[in-house]
Structure 1
């Protein structure tokens, strides 16, 4: 999977000229948006990258929560996909795979209203096609240094001793080690002196049904001084994001394409902003898509040999939420 030559060169050219731009690259990397900030129309695109935004701060206040009516895939269907992945794992073809699904939902809110209500590090609304409110950074580039923050491991924050439980869970720990190793290898493709600066720290996210805890790490590397002339090349080498594909990446993506029954589209792609000096980007998770006036919430989780099908199914549903103020 490679970014198209046209998109890559446009990112490189804008970076070379230090023209600020937003980029949105879908999972398949065949439908992308790259547009200078000066040309963005707020009727088509709204963004907020950790406070760098083209819209006023939250203009719509929701009630205590945004209630979603959820119609999840039945467990038997999910189990069939899960078992297929376990067979691939047992055959040595993958040892971590991020399985996702598309869940029909109903909400009284429009996608734009959800954008304004949502509390998240990153928010994105595109032409009433989808809204994303992601907690996960993909990469940041600051002062010739590139940072990545892989996120793996989720638990209900209301469970007593939730933090110690998730940090001591063998399956979750193994999965996180795998992703950190994968991202470290990815960063080595574009930078040098790659270092794991912080390993397995907790982030708390408030949802419409309570809090959840998520486990992240911080990895960094050193870029060449002229990195801004090669922004497209850098992302081309890093995509797709390891945290939403798996390891080994290339073979795992093939298995994902054979197993999943929906098109991911922009879900699990990446989006970001170059402000003329720095880059900040996210992985597009926590994602609602509109198709024929129907809403679909796309969510998933990592599968390893130690995964329990029922727990993974429940986590898939647990991630169907909108974080609000």
Structure 2
């Protein structure tokens, strides 16, 4: 097991070493790549629980789980959010960014522990770091199989109960522009590590359960061909692609700088990625839908993409809607 607070080159070199030997492992890395953890699949530490569409490690759930349905969420006020939104809009008008994923911390009150939240969720991608955080993500980052790399950016959300929700989401000019920008960004990112990159499926809708709500989210499927020796440079591949475009924005480098100035807190593992390398294939997910344990209690980190067409009221509501535990 390797855990480190060093710079991303250490994560890169460690994951390259696992890949070169084709040693199956679990890995995760934070948004800024300063925090990371890698452990062999055959000797799990127990400090990390995870599952990626059925593959993973976690202890069996207790026979009886008494899980109250209520979660009390206390997000930042609209006024506080609007100030951050206005600062991002200024940067957009100045040409410093065109799309920025703005996130916030919300206080979350629940009698449950992180382990309970992990068991309660039926999300396809879940990860828990003992006494620190749990995430239950609907968003895959990259999948690698048969020397082909796939990514599935998600951008665009609407309450499925809204009248004509599908049409509204697909025809919304702001959501459309945001999705196109993210697809273009991820296509360019994949082109740095793969050849013959193309969009296999564009802007399809999926329904997810968000606590008591049903949400529609828009995704696209992009893929490309990897060289046969990609295992030997597995860490370098991920460091080239990170941070994930769907939770940063474009242009990526400058947008990350703005995020760090505007958000006012360290994201840590939130919006980082975690994954499994089995010696032949890779699956990984973006760490969103994220509950973190702080000294004074739990916080929930969530957000959404801001463009020039964004409405502060709608973006604030989207940030609040994303505070949920799937199927709790």
TM-score, normalised via structure 2 length = 0.95
CA distance in 2, matches of 1:58, 1:208: 20
CA distance in 1, matches of 2:199, 2:240: 20
1:77 corresponds, among 74, 77, 80, to 80
1:17 corresponds, among 14, 21, 26, to 21
Q: Secondary structure at the match of 2:288?
A: coil
After superposition, the Cα gap between the structure-2 partners of 1:61 and 1:311, relative to the gap in structure 1 and judged at 3 Å, is: farther
After superposition, the Cα gap between the structure-2 partners of 1:146 and 1:235, relative to the gap in structure 1 and judged at 3 Å, is: same
CA distance in 1, matches of 2:122, 2:61: 9
How far is 1:55 from its partner? 2.6
Map of 1:33 onto structure 2? 37
Point out where structure 1 has 5 or more consecutive residues left out of the alignment: none
Q: Secondary structure at the match of 2:42?
A: helix
How far is 1:4 from its partner? 2.2
Give yes or no for contact 2:52–2:125 (8 Å, CA) kept in 1: yes
Give yes or no for contact 1:59–1:116 (8 Å, CA) kept in 2: no
Map of 1:87 onto structure 2? 90
Point out where structure 2 has 5 or more consecutive residues left out of the alignment: 1-5
Give yes or no for contact 2:39–2:45 (8 Å, CA) kept in 1: no
How far is 1:194 from its partner? 0.1
Report 1:258-297 matches (<5 A): 258-292=261-295, 294-297=297-300
Instruction: Note if 1:142 corresponds to 2:145.
Output: yes
Map of 1:161 onto structure 2? 164
How far is 1:28 from its partner? 1.2
Map of 2:251 onto structure 1? 248
Map of 1:320 onto structure 2? 323
- Report Cα offsets for 1:118-143 as digits up to 9, x if no partner: 01110001012000000000000001
1:306 corresponds, among 309, 313, 323, to 309
How far is 1:276 from its partner? 1.1
CA distance in 1, matches of 2:217, 2:60: 25
TM-score, normalised via structure 1 length = 0.96
CA distance in 2, matches of 1:154, 1:188: 27
CA distance in 2, matches of 1:226, 1:193: 17
CA distance in 2, matches of 1:231, 1:59: 37
How far is 1:6 from its partner? 2.0
Instruction: Note if 1:6 corresponds to 2:10.
Output: yes
Map of 1:211 onto structure 2? 214
